[in-house]
Chains A and B, each alone.
Chain A
């Protein structure tokens, strides 16, 4: 029934962005979400998606798939601040058997494998461990997959398969230390409560090197942005792997297994692998490419207050702003170009919320003449890695981070 209502009012992304930008400035008083459809500008289409409010604990989201849930954050949300609200945070599940009821008294987190002592921890016991907090971007490996050319199958995201939150929880290290990792351990395998529909299908599990798991930053989070997690974002516990793609951020974490040999399960060995090349780039059909598990985020930046095709009044300086993130190191600089990348100048950076967080940037655009301009924004991270001018390609549609272009007119 909802979908029939949605179909009534088609709206382009351009209009949606423009409208939301205004509404955001009027104290969010007006019901921005009268819209029911959005069009993602995916080459070759289809770009039409419903806006849904039908998912529990979630606000208006772009419906990529109902089951298993795949919900994209509408892009204008990123203009409102560097922290993505929990009810607008993207959602992505692999298997559709997801518990819809979690009892906090009976829930247990089990730790076993190559350890001195197996554990079965209650949530109370976990919350009693030392508390840590950090801001970090959680981004789907395939965020922006819909822009790949040639197109590839999968979740056909626009750019909203990402979000930034302040995560609170306990160190994975502290939990592992409590169990006592035995010498010879090589990886730590993480598994949640979701299960496949078909019994012999590969259950979703991801592994981190034991030293990574014990680095003191990898976290078992029980809160995001100061509240318990929405169920669809992994309530009650979710792994946070700062600076790494979301595939490792296992939701509804219920099982930690310390391994004494490398994990060869499907989700490590076959799925979520990238070409071991600069920018994870290869040619369609290219043979003999060495593939490795996806790992660190790369730098990205976006304009959030101006949509493609916007007309900017001549003679008035416009403020252009957006977000950037460095990936696994902080944002060193954000550069802006109004001439399609021929010349660049540094943008002003906003408050530093930590090296794994979104960071606000802004700059003035004061065009001397009327005409068409291509606005571009480029992030360079603290390791010196900058966004590339050319799009990467790989068959799974992973790690897109090309410099974004926004054509505008000055009239």
Chain B
């Protein structure tokens, strides 16, 4: 990986190799039966992790939380309320502060 740029001629030649599809469109469809993978990511350990696990991961895997940017507590509170009010996540009101505190601890400003 020393030469990052290839000579012009080689690049131009490669551009001629068309990857365009041939129009061999199926005239009938075949049944499909697949298996979707399970998530293997765990939530990081912090106070309230069990409550978050039990309340949040029914609808989405842990990766959804872990990929989020750093957000302040008010933003996490808004997210949790959206999950409850809009997406109807069956989260007890008494669990909300625990979940918000966990998210702020794990994904809040340091």
Chain A: residues with CB nearer than 8 A to chain B? 1-4, 15, 18-19, 21-22, 24-25, 42, 44-46, 49, 52, 54-57, 63-70, 80-83, 85, 95-96, 98, 100-105, 123-124, 127, 131, 133, 146, 151-153, 155-156, 166, 168, 196-198, 200-202, 222-223, 225-228, 231, 235-236, 266, 270, 305-306, 310-313, 316-319, 321, 350, 353, 360, 362, 364
Contacts and interface: CB of A to CB of B under 8 A. Distances in A.
Interface in B8-35: 8, 10-12, 14-15, 18-35
Given A65-B61, A127-B27, A226-B24, A319 B19 contact: no
Contact of B36 (A15, A100, A127): A100
Contact of B69 (A45, A81, A102): A45
Contact of A67 (B11, B33, B36): B36
A46 B64 CA distance: 12
Nearest to B65: A65
B94 interface: no
A81 B29 contact: no
A316 B64 contact: no
A277 B54 CA distance: 41
Contacts of B36: 55-56, 67, 69, 98, 100
Listed from nearest, the 8 A-B pairs whose CB atoms lie closest are A81-B19, A56-B34, A151-B69, A66-B39, A201-B88, A54-B37, A67-B61, A66-B61
A228 B25 CA distance: 8
Contacts of B5: 306, 310, 312-313, 316, 318
Nearest to A64: B67
B93 interface: no
13 contacts: A2-B37, A18-B4, A25-B6, A25-B10, A67-B61, A100-B34, A124-B28, A152-B69, A153-B71, A168-B23, A196-B88, A198-B90, A310-B5
Interface of A is mostly: loop
A79 B35 CA distance: 30
Contact of A225 (B1, B21, B32, B40): B21
Contacts of B39: 66-67
**Size class of the B contact interface (CB-based, 8 Å):** 35 or more
A228 B30 contact: yes
B60 A103 contact: no
B69 A66 contact: no
A15 B32 CA distance: 36
Given A104-B29, A306-B5, A49 B20 contact: no
A310 B71 CA distance: 32
A409 to B, nearest CB: 10
Contacts of B33: 100-102
A153 B31 contact: no
A105 B30 CA distance: 9
A1 B40 contact: yes
Contact of A42 (B29, B61, B69): B69
Given A15-B1, A55-B37, A198-B90, A133 B23 contact: yes
B38 A66 contact: yes
B59 A103 contact: no
Interface in B39-56: 39-41
The residue among A4, A156, A350 with the most chain B CB atoms within 10 A of its own CB is A156
Contacts of A306: 4-5
Contacts of B69: 42, 44-46, 146, 151-153, 156
B8 A83 contact: no
B79 A153 contact: yes
A66 B41 contact: yes
B82 to A, nearest CB: 9
A97 B18 CA distance: 38
A127 to B, nearest CB: 7
Contacts of A310: 4-5
